[in-house]
Amino acid sequence: MSTTEEQYIKANENYVKNLEPERKDLPLKPSTPVRRLGVDSQPCNNPNLACTPQVIIITCMDARIVPSQALGLAEGETFVVRNVGGRTVEAIRSLVIAQQFFGTKEIIVLHHTDCGLLRFKDPQVHEKLKANPPRKNVPIASTVDSMVFLPISDTQVTLKEDVEFLKGHPLLYEDSQITGWIFDVKDGKVTKVI
């Protein structure tokens, strides 16, 4: 076992030791307590909590973002889908499952400043892969050319496009509450854009 893996295990031992007892009984279905959001309540699967409908956050894999903490949501209170850029076209599979099996109607698209996807376009990734293929003697040209990496030119424009994509998606409920926000990686501030 590597030193890093040993560190993960040691850190996890502390994590397990310090877990709140209630944490062990968290339900599979997230529920967002009204005490945090201060909005109208409706019944949920935890009889001890008044809950809003569940929330699903779609955001970038950027390590500077802990989306639940940024929005004041604790463990067990929100679904989170992450991919590079927080692009909704890549998240659609998870969104459909969240709606069909958990009834999640509130969808927060959380993009951010200084995203890595602002730094390149598809041809650059294609050229990089072809110039130095990850596996030796395995042809990849056609696979590479067929892949899109969903780069971003303007954060606000892409955020609006991603929200509109979900609003028009035939597999999502028409009455879904879908909003777009930007997280500032410098100061942690979130701003609602759409």
- In angstroms, the CA 95 to CA 91 distance is 6
- How many residues form the binding site for Zn ion (CB under 5 A)? 3
Which of 54/59 has CB closer to Zn ion? 59
The CB-of-149 to Zn ion minimum distance in angstroms stands at 12
The one-character DSSP state at 54 is P
Q: Is 51 annotated as a binding residue?
A: no
Part in contact with Zn ion (CB under 5 A); list of ranges 38-46, 48-56, 112-120, 163-171: 112-120
Consult the annotation and say whether 60 binds a ligand. Answer: yes
CB of 37 or CB of 184, closer to Zn ion: 184
Given a contact cutoff of 8 angstroms between Cβ atoms, the answer to whether 179 and 162 are in contact is no
**Is residue 58 near Zn ion by the rule CB under 5 A?**
no
Residue 44 marked in a binding site? no
Contacts of residue 176, defined as CB under 8 A and 6 or more positions apart, other chains included, come to: 99, 105, 106, 107, 166, 167
| Cβ closest to Zn ion, residue 62 vs residue 162 | 62
Q: Which stretch binds Zn ion (CB under 5 A): 22-30, 101-109, 111-119, 178-186?
A: 111-119
Tokens 């560190």, located at residue = 7
Give how far Cα 98 sits from Cα of 20, 87, 140, 147, 173, Å: 26, 17, 34, 26, 11
Work out whether 115 is an interface residue with Zn ion (CB under 5 A). yes
Question: Which one, 56 or 117, has the nearer CB to Zn ion?
Answer: 117
Buried b vs exposed e over 143-182: b needs ≥16 C-beta within 10 Å? ebeeeeebbbeebeebbbebbebbeebeebeeebebebbb
Calculate ∠ Cα 13-14-18, nearest 5°.
Answer: 120
> Applying CB under 5 A, does 77 fall inside the site for Zn ion?
no
Q: How far is the CB of 118 from Zn ion (least distance, A)?
A: 8
> Is residue 51 within the footprint of Zn ion (CB under 5 A)?
no
What's the CA dihedral at 124, 125, 126, 131 to 10 degrees? 90
CB-nearer residue toward Zn ion: 76 or 180 = 180
For the bound state, the minimum distance from the C-beta of residue 84 to Zn ion, rounded and expressed in Å, comes to: 6
Tell me: does residue 60 bind Zn ion (CB under 5 A): yes
Is 112 one of the annotated binding-site residues?
yes
The H or E element containing residue 10 is helix 3-17
- By the criterion CB under 5 A, which residues form the site for Zn ion? 60, 62, 115
